[in-house]
Structures are given as structure tokens and as C-alpha cells.
A and B are shown apart, each in its own frame.
Chain A
């Protein structure tokens, strides 16, 4: 029943973002690919050749718009259930139900993670479906590979904000700090630039990049479109680990905390 309750708490926000994502992906793609549109791939149109629609869709949607929307959704969805518990002070009720705090923590996190997955899948499938309608070419199947980097990037943001909510005992604070950290992390490439001599030294010549979540998604989706670019494996692993580490960290706090 706790799953139901977590879902209810985040339902409204989830549906909002679902609508936004589908509203962005599907009409956008179809509109762009219409006869006479900027990416009309038919003979005689401004861009002849199927590849141009493909790259346009991937650049604008996959690498920019969708990651931004999904990251923002992750930020907003994370504090929805836990933040509500803290606001209403119902943890005294919840923790006196016969379930371990570990179970409750995992369930709450999982519901949100599934919602993020749902949003990412909806975005990709929506774009995919629209592309098929418009161009019907085989390249579109590779689009589905974008689910992975998008999901890992988004759920990393989600996990971080979730843990911050638990740490700060407040949905608002969790969201604010999460947003702050996210914005700061976008400047990581600048930091990396400044610190590159040191980093080179530390990593003994291996390429070590401080990449933000955005660049993970950007690079991951880029790989889907053009595999020659290489997959940002290091960043992927880093954020994958963080995704799992944050809830464990939150669980440790939760288990020791007094209500």
C-alpha cells in the first residue's frame, strides 16, 4: 500500500511532465518533418537526404530539450513523497507501521525512479513514433538506445535530490539544494579547464573528465546518433554509481535518525 501512497503523492507532477514531454516531442518532430518544413527530406525540399531530419531531431530534441525537461522533472519528482511526509509530520505514523525503514526508503525511491523511467521512455518512444510517421526509415531504431544515458542521467539527479530531501528534512530545501548543485555542476567543464594540468598529473596521463549530468546525456545521445563519437563510459559509470550511492547514503541517515 505504500507504493500506492508514494504514487499518489507524485501523481500530479508526473502527469504534468508526461504531458509536457509528449507535447514537446511528438508535435515538434511531426511539424519539423512536414512537407515544406525546414527538415523536409523529400526530393526538392531544403534538406534532401534522410540523415538531416535525423540529425536535427537528435540535436534539438534528444541532446537538448529532452534532457533539460527530464532533469527538471527529476528535480521536482524527488522531494514529492518524502517532502510531503516531512511537511505533514507523518513519519511518526509511517515508521510505526510494521515495515523496516530500509523497505520504506527503497520503495519510495523506486516509485520515483520508475516514474523517471516512464518519462524517459515516453520521450524516446514519442519521438521514435513521430519519426516513423514522418520518415519511416530504419535509423530510428537506434533512438531507443538513448533511453539508457537519459535514464541514468535523470535518475542520478533524482537520487541526489531525494537524498538531499532526507538530509535536510524538507522538500523545499531538497529541491533548492538539488537545483543549486545541478547548476553548479554545469560549470564543471570550466573547472575542468582550469584544473586540467592538475588532473593530468593526478590521473597519470589518462583522460579524466569532470562531466556534468547534462554532458552525460548529451554524449550518450550523441553516441546513439553517431556511434563513431564514442560512448562516455567513464561518466556513465560515475553517475551510475552515484545513482545507487545516494539512496544508500539516505538509507543510512534514515535508519539512524530519530523521529
Chain B
């Protein structure tokens, strides 16, 4: 039987019981944004964005991430997708989940041996090499591209750092 504590009373008065929906229901995620129509799987988009925020300094070790349910609700995607992203990030050492269930940015986001870290980056390097070659770019042009991205990240990092210092 329906539980006693939430029984409806009949007849229900529309004026009394039906208010306008609260703003919360229209809420979006402040942190992340996914584009389901792109060819990139949603969980990968989440992972990439989280890593990007960490690399840029917008997320620092100890910051709490939204719960799986909240993030899924805010993004209007399945909790399985969010859970997968969080799991992958945790496996990579980027995030850490505590007993209570909340997920935080790991203290030392990367705690692997250098050799392990290099091994992890290799597939991405390979992808750049393959793509660049296919696009008929010189090796030097490809390297310059990568360098520019690294510079841009550092710039963002500095800017966040300034912001942090100002607000602390």
C-alpha cells in the first residue's frame, strides 16, 4: 500500500497544493557542459572538461564535485554516464571518492611514476602524430601547435592563480 506518511488527501485543492515549480528544476550544471550530438561520447567530454579545469587551476585538490545524481540531473544525462566518467577519473588518479559518496579532486592529482604518466600520454601523442601527418603538416608545425596549447593553458593557470590570490 502507499506509505501512510505521504498519502494524498482528496479532494486536493489546486490552489493550495500546486505551486509553481521551483527554479531548481531549470538549473543547469555550473561546471560542465556536454554536447550529446557531437561525435565524442558524453563520458569522455566530462572527463576531458574535468581534466581541463584541473589543468587550468579552476579545480584544485580538495574541491568537491557534484554528486553523480546531481550532475546527471543538471546535464539531463544518464547517471551511468556520469558514473563512468567519475570512475575513469578516479582510476586515473584525478578524482577521489570518500566513504560518504562525495567525489573530490584528488590531493596529488597525479601520483604515478613518470614512466606510467608517459605511458598514459603516448596514445594521445600518437593520435596527434597520425592526424598531423594525414593533414600533411610538418613535424615542426605539429610541435609548434602543441607548444601553443601548453602556453595557453599556462596563461589560464596564471590568471586563475591571480584570481585566487585576490579572493583569499
Does chain A touch chain B in the assembled complex, meaning CB atoms less than 8 Å apart? no
